[in-house]
Chains A and B, each alone.
Chain A
Amino acid sequence: MARTRDESSPLFAGNAAGTLRLIVYLALAVVLMVLDHRNGWLWRLRYTASAVVEPVYRLAGLPAVGVRTMSVAFADRQRLTEQNQRLREDLLLANAKLNRMAAVAEQNQRLKELLDTQHSLELNVQLARVVGVDLGAYRYQLTLNMGARDGVRPGQPVIDAHGVMGQVKEVLPTTSVVMLITDPSHAIPVVNERTGLRTVAYGSRDGDQLSLPNIPLAAEVRAGDKLLTSGLGGRFPPGFPVGEVVSVAPAATGMFQVAQARPAADLDRSEDVLLLHDQAEPDGPPAPPTPAGPPADLAPSSASSTSGPASGNNGAAR
């Protein structure tokens, strides 16, 4: 009863058909990836399937909520009292500052009216809560419990009590995903509060610091300098704290200085965040006016009038 070798023995299962199927599936996956990378299907698909996807996110966020609730339930009275006391003091201090600022703000408003500028100091914000879901992009993302139905739009800045956290990247009906400023593919225009130097702060690979790789050698930057949003680019309104410079060193190329900064916002610990509603007024030159002319159907449509200059251009190019 010797088994012949070609009888497919379970010890060496797998054959050409299996390999072929693997290749087909891998090719399918690669095609999907390429298509998605080009067209961003994943988010459209997620938006369509949001009725399934969002409850799953809420379900997966339950353990985080549970831990939070437990930590409050089992926190001792002493600690809660202390926390309450501290919050009261903070509120008192903040109110005192606000009262002092109110007069300044009013004065500022009057002066601005005189100067006829549009900038306003008022904040139009919306409170959102962080959903504890891991969306698989290391730790550079945050999920919020507000979405398109609450008026959230991609590109909205997100802040907390201490500074800028990031901007809304993708929106589902009742969920949105925030790209943090520490994401390596994120950049935010900043200004040094002390010297007025404008530069750009990028996220870093380690995920908890900002890096400012192109500061001119002549510029003076010290550890401890505060960075604010500069408002350039029109995405983030000016004047919000971004971070604090931790270290400055000359770059390896010797052409620039490189600074590392610590984000001002509590990126790891924030539970509630604020979505800024009024987008910053874009600084810089105004958008080019749309060319005003006669409607297209009234334009002279004879081929000779358009081919004349075109052929002349071609001739010049040759």
Chain B
Amino acid sequence: MNRQRLNLWWFIGTLVFALLSMLVPLPGVLEPFKPYWPALFLLYWSLESEDRVTLGLAFAVGLAADLLNGVVLGEQALRLCALVFIALRFRSRLRFFPMWQQALAVLALLLNDRILLLIVRVLAGASLPPASWWISPFVGAALWPFLFLLLDDLRARLRIQ
């Protein structure tokens, strides 16, 4: 019972941490390199514990992210839903990929996410972003192995399912 509650808190805690990291600004030069943290954390959890991550959760996290940092309500909800749907569809294959292949898959997912964001922003009337805006998915994919191993290691240490 207690362990289950700990599991749940750990799960929620990582998602809250992801939302907070999304808000933390980086120095001006590094700004385009900031990965989209909520997507990475949701991807991790959708690969690791399928029963917890559903489309509804992705939608809720996206709405929370929109409330905190967003241009249009529902924008990140849409992006995260699409991302989690694809990840859940290919979950069993993604899980057994070697790490570099998994990172490439993450890159594809994040690029898809950026394209969705671009479509939404352009339809909402924003101007096209600068070229450096496309760096972020690559940084996210490069960080993926480390994030995955770190979270796995923490989970093993805390004996959390």
Q: Do A and B share a complex? A: yes
Partner of A138, one of B67, B74, B133: B133
CA distance A46 to B120 in the complex (A): 20
Known: A22-B81, A36-B74, A138-B129. A46 touches B67 (CB 8 A): yes
Which residues of A sit under 8 angstroms from B56, Cβ to Cβ?
Answer: 25
Partner of A184, one of B22, B120, B127: B127
Q: What range describes how many residues of B lie at the interface?
A: 35 or more
Residue tally, chain A, CB below 8 Å to B: 44
Chain B 17-43 interface residues, beta-carbon cutoff 8 Å to A: 19-20, 22-26, 28, 31, 34
Cβ contact within 8 Å between A42 and B66: yes
B6 CB to nearest chain A CB (Å) = 23
Known: A22-B55, A29-B77. A137 touches B22 (CB 8 A): no
- Most A CB contacts (10 A, CB to CB) among B59, B68, B88 go to B68
Cβ contact within 8 Å between B92 and A13: yes
- A206 located at the interface, meaning its Cβ lies under 8 Å from any Cβ of chain B in the complex: yes
Cβ contact within 8 Å between B24 and A64: yes
Interface stretch (choices A53-61, A159-167, A251-259):
A53-61
Chain A 125-169 interface residues, beta-carbon cutoff 8 Å to B: 132-139
- B85 located at the interface, meaning its Cβ lies under 8 Å from any Cβ of chain A in the complex: yes
Cβ contact within 8 Å between B127 and A36: no
Partner of A37, one of B22, B55, B62, B124: B124
A19 CB to nearest chain B CB (Å) = 8
Which residues of A sit under 8 angstroms from B82, Cβ to Cβ?
Answer: 22, 26
CA distance A10 to B95 in the complex (A): 12
- B142 located at the interface, meaning its Cβ lies under 8 Å from any Cβ of chain A in the complex: no
Known: A25-B81, A60-B24. A42 touches B69 (CB 8 A): no
- B71 located at the interface, meaning its Cβ lies under 8 Å from any Cβ of chain A in the complex: yes
Known: A22-B85, A268-B28. A36 touches B55 (CB 8 A): no
Which residues of B sit under 8 angstroms from A64, Cβ to Cβ?
Answer: 24-25
A-B contacts, 26 listed (Cβ < 8 Å): A13-B88, A18-B55, A18-B85, A18-B88, A21-B55, A22-B82, A25-B56, A28-B74, A29-B62, A29-B81, A32-B77, A33-B75, A33-B78, A36-B72, A42-B67, A46-B67, A56-B23, A57-B23, A133-B23, A134-B26, A134-B69, A137-B71, A138-B133, A139-B28, A184-B127, A185-B127
Residues of chain A whose beta carbon lies under 8 Å from any beta carbon of chain B: 10-11, 13-14, 18, 21-22, 25-26, 28-33, 35-37, 41-42, 45-46, 49, 53, 56-57, 59-60, 63-64, 132-139, 184-185, 205-207, 268
